[in-house]
Each structure stands twice: as structure tokens, then as C-alpha cells.
């Protein structure tokens, strides 16, 4: 009777495992189809789910994932420097001023989220800006050439402070939730502002940006402390003004002279070649895993396919623009995901060599490998976070894709791979089928009881 009950329990676990794995397989196949083909989510065609997986070929990149300048091309804008009379009379160093302008524009473009762009001197008095947009928005063109000269004017209209007395500009909200800008003045600026307001009680002072008044409040009392807040602006204006002032002031005016489209710097067929290389490399990894670790290798392949499906889906959903360093971050995260499976399998193999059953060896092997795998992922996450906050442009794009891949890799390793392995142990009992380099006789001591 006890034998029959144990047999029925094993059959029940086996049937449950087959059903669970079949459901995961159906979901995987469904996601693969959607990833490559997309679909209409409404019978009337109101919304289309765009494909998010690349496929081999020059036209195989999905529209749902934007690409950077080197991979897809974009547009360029050329600006000419308009020197002031004083600068020309004083014989200002044009090369030095252009370098300063390029530095300011770089900070501005990085501040509005461009992961990749090129800025260079153009001729003797010009600057060329290359962006991954097929058509550069007018707002971006204006942002690039805005001088961002901040001026504080007394009641007579005389300038008593400028951007040199500004320490920081912060876009924030007031107590009622309305957008505002707070200027943090230097110590010298705070003293000057306090003295002028003390002498201007009952009158108005003006704060302007490039000659356009931002506000002209009436002074009710002397304002010391070094914090000046401006309200009555939209959230977009607050963010733009704060970015302009934080990035610095252009040393001269810039005049837009030309805009046009730009081809990919790596060539028209480079993207198709990259995608094909990714497919070939991934196929070789899948083959190696299957040959080396047998059923465990096939489960690892399955887990990696789910990992890539979800990784590209999250990139598309988050609107992350991929650059060449970003693709490198993806490849590194895929390698890390494959390596975590290898660590699991080696620990499982060690337990099988000790004579444990497949189910018991898998449970112990996963438990013993948890610390190693989790530690590797945490180290990767820390590095990615540091690069994300310390780097700019393409470095941030690399860090972002690596961070996303590492976080998803933790889920893949400790949820997906673990689920597949533990359920498969209810179906496969022979160690030689489960993993390579294991003899069936190795599990004989566990046939009548688990090895301790």
C-alpha cells in the first residue's frame, strides 16, 4: 500500500512538472512569435504591438528600439560663431572660446538625455553637432545656441549681478506643487543681493535670461541667505532654464547655418553584420551548453532565450536608445546569465558525483551556488550604477543596458533557471541524462535513501 502511495505521489509530481514546463514552453513560444512579428492587440486595429527582437539582415532591426548615431545615422547642425565687438577688439582666442562652447553644449545635450552625439569644431569660427535624430527638433536647436546669460537688474535697470554669482539652479516645486526655479547664489552673490534688496524696498528688481525678464518682483524686505526662487513658469521652462544655467553660458552667440541628414558612421550594412554576428555567437553558446551539460544545458538554453526575450522587451518598453557601447553591455549581461547557469551545473555535478539522487543533488547544488552567483550579480550592479552616475553619453548607455541585464539576470537565475531545473528533476531520474560526465551507477547509493 505504501509503495502504491509513493508511486502515485511520484506520478503526480511528474504530471505536475510536465504541465508546468509545458505552460512555460507555450509562453516562451508565444513571446518568440510576438518578439519577431508583433501583433494587433485589438480586432479593429486600434493598437499594434511592435516586434522587439532583431533578426539577421540589414533590415532586421525592430522599430521599437531606437539606435544611436554610429549604428543608424541621424542629422547634423552647423553653427557659426558671432563674436561681439569687444571680443574682436581684444583679440580673443577663438580656438579657446570654441572649446568652451563645445563643453557647454556637451553638458546640455547630456542633460536632456542624448546617449550619443558628436560635437566638433567646424572651420575657423564654427561648430558642428551630430545627433541620432533623423530630424533635430527645433527645441534642441534652440537649446544648443541659447547663450544663457543671467542678469539681475536693480530698479534703475542697472545690472548688479550675473551668472558668475550663481552657484546652482534647481528646478523644483513650491508648497502648492507648482513648478519653480531656485537660484543658489555664491557667498559674494548672496551679500550683493541682500544689500541691493535692502536699498530697494518698495521697488522692483528684475531677473532676466538673455534679455528676457523672468520675473520682476516688488521688494518687501531685504533678502539675505543666497536663495532666490522664481515661480510662474511651466515645468518644461523650469527644467530648461535650470539645465541652461547649470551647463554654463556660451562665450558668444551661435547662428544656425545648416542642417541635414547624416549616414551611419559604421556604414549602411554594419548593423546587419552586427546582428548576424550576435545570432551566430548566441547559437554557438546554445550548442556548447547543450553538448557540455546535456539536459541541464538544454534548460540553460531555454532560460537564456527567455532572458533575451524579456531583456529586449524591457529595452523597447523603456525607450532606451542603443549605441555600440550599449550593445556591448547587452552582450556582457548575456555572458553573465550563461555563466550563472554554468556555476549551478558544476555544483550539481559535484553533488551527483557524491552519489546523491538527481532531485537531491539539484536542490543542494542550487543552494550552494546561490552565494557565488548572487555575489557576481551584485558586483556587476554596483559597477553599472557607478558608471551610470559618473559617466556621460555612451558610457551611461553601456551602464544602463548592463544594469538592466544584471537585474533581469538575477530574476533569470533564481526564478527561471531554478524553476526549470527543479521541475525537470521530477521527470528525469538518470544522472547520465541530466548532466554530462556522470555514470548511472553514481546514484545507486541513493536508491534506497539519500546520501548524507
Residues 125 and 226 in one domain: yes
Distance separating alpha carbons of residues 207 and 178, to the nearest angstrom? 19
Please determine, for residue 435, whether its predicted confidence score (pLDDT) is greater than 60. yes
Question: Per the domain annotation, does 235 fall within a domain?
Answer: yes
Q: Provide the 3-class DSSP secondary structure of residue 119.
A: strand
Please state whether the predicted TM-score (pTM) of the whole model is above 0.85: no
Which of 207, 233, 262 finishes a domain?
A: 262
Question: Per the domain annotation, does 345 fall within a domain?
Answer: yes
Distance separating alpha carbons of residues 70 and 368, to the nearest angstrom? 44
pLDDT mean over 313-334: 90
Which domain does 164 fall in, by range? 69-262
Residues 145 and 201 in one domain: yes
Question: Per the domain annotation, does 39 fall within a domain?
Answer: yes
Domain count, the chain: 2
Residues 127 and 179 in one domain: yes
81: burial class by Cβ within 10 Å (0-12, 13-18, 19+)? Answer: buried
Is residue 332 within 8 Å of residue 362, measured between CB atoms? no
Question: Per the domain annotation, does 452 fall within a domain?
Answer: no
Question: Per the domain annotation, does 208 fall within a domain?
Answer: yes
* % of the chain exceeding 90 in pLDDT: 31
Question: Per the domain annotation, does 64 fall within a domain?
Answer: no
Which of 229, 262, 295 finishes a domain?
A: 262
pLDDT mean over 32-41: 89
Question: Per the domain annotation, does 451 fall within a domain?
Answer: no
Which of 214, 238, 262 finishes a domain?
A: 262
Residues 13 and 129 in one domain: no
Residues 203 and 281 in one domain: no
pLDDT tens readout for residues 223-280: 888 888 877 778 888 888 888 888 888 888 888 998 888 777 665 567 777 788 888 8
Distance separating alpha carbons of residues 105 and 250, to the nearest angstrom? 8
| Burial state string for 271-297 with b = 16 or more CB within 10 A and e = fewer than 16 | bbebbbebeeebeebbeebbeebbbbb
Distance separating alpha carbons of residues 16 and 22, to the nearest angstrom? 10
Residues 207 and 282 in one domain: no
Residues 234 and 290 in one domain: no
Amino acid at each position: 500500500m505504501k509503495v502504491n502511495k509513493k508511486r502515485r505521489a511520484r506520478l503526480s509530481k511528474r504530471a505536475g512538472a510536465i504541465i508546468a514546463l509545458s505552460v512555460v514552453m507555450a509562453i516562451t513560444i508565444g513571446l518568440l512569435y510576438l518578439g519577431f512579428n508583433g501583433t494587433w492587440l485589438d480586432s479593429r486595429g486600434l493598437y499594434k504591438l511592435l516586434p522587439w527582437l532583431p533578426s539577421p539582415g540589414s533590415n532586421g532591426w525592430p522599430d521599437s528600439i531606437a539606435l544611436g548615431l554610429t549604428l543608424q545615422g541621424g542629422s547634423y547642425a552647423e553653427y557659426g560663431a558671432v563674436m561681439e565687438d569687444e571680443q574682436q577688439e581684444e583679440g580673443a582666442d577663438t580656438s579657446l572660446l570654441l572649446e568652451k562652447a563645445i563643453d557647454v553644449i556637451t553638458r546640455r545635450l547630456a542633460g536632456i538625455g542624448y546617449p550619443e552625439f558628436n560635437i566638433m569644431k567646424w572651420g575657423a569660427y564654427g561648430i558642428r553637432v551630430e545627433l541620432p535624430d533623423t530630424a533635430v527638433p527645433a527645441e534642441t536647436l534652440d537649446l544648443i545656441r541659447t547663450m544663457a546669460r543671467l542678469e539681475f537688474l536693480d530698479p534703475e535697470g542697472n545690472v548688479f549681478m550675473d551668472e558668475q554669482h550663481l552657484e546652482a539652479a534647481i528646478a523644483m516645486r513650491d508648497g502648492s506643487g507648482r513648478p519653480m526655479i531656485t537660484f543658489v547664489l555664491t557667498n559674494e552673490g548672496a551679500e550683493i543681493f541682500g544689500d541691493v534688496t535692502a536699498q530697494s524696498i518698495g521697488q522692483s528688481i528684475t531677473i532676466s535670461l538673455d534679455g528676457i525678464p523672468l520675473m520682476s518682483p516688488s521688494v518687501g524686505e531685504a533678502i539675505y541667505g543666497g536663495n532666490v526662487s522664481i515661480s510662474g513658469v511651466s515645468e518644461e521652462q523650469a527644467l530648461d532654464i535650470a539645465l541652461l544655467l547649470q551647463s554654463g553660458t556660451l562665450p558668444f552667440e551661435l547662428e544656425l547655418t545648416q542642417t541635414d541628414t547624416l549616414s551611419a558612421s559604421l556604414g549602411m550594412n554594419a548593423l546587419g553584420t552586427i546582428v548576424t554576428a550576435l545570432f551566430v555567437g548566441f547559437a554557438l553558446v546554445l550548442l556548447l551548453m547543450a553538448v557540455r551539460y546535456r539536459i541541464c544545458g538544454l534548460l540553460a538554453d531555454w532560460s537564456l532565450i527567455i532572458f533575451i526575450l524579456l531583456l529586449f522587451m524591457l529595452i523597447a518598453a523603456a525607450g532606451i536608445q542603443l549605441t555600440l557601447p550599449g550593445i556591448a553591455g547587452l552582450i556582457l549581461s548575456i555572458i553573465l546569465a550563461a555563466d550563472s547557469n554554468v556555476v549551478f551545473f558544476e555544483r550539481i555535478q559535484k553533488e551527483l558525483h557524491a552519489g546523491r539522487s538527481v532531485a537531491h543533488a539539484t536542490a543542494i547544488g542550487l543552494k550552494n551556488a546561490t552565494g557565488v552567483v548572487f555575489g557576481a550579480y551584485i558586483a556587476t550592479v554596483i559597477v553599472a550604477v557607478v558608471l551610470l552616475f559618473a559617466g556621460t553619453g555612451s558610457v551611461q548607455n553601456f551602464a544602463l543596458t548592463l544594469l538592466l541585464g544584471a537585474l533581469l539576470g538575477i530574476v533569470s537565475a533564481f526564478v527561471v533557471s531554478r524553476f526549470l531545473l527543479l521541475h525537470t528533476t521530477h521527470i528525469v531520474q538518470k544522472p547520465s541524462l541530466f548532466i554530462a560526465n556522470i555514470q548511472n551507477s553514481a546514484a545507486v547509493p541513493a536508491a534506497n535513501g539519500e546520501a548524507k
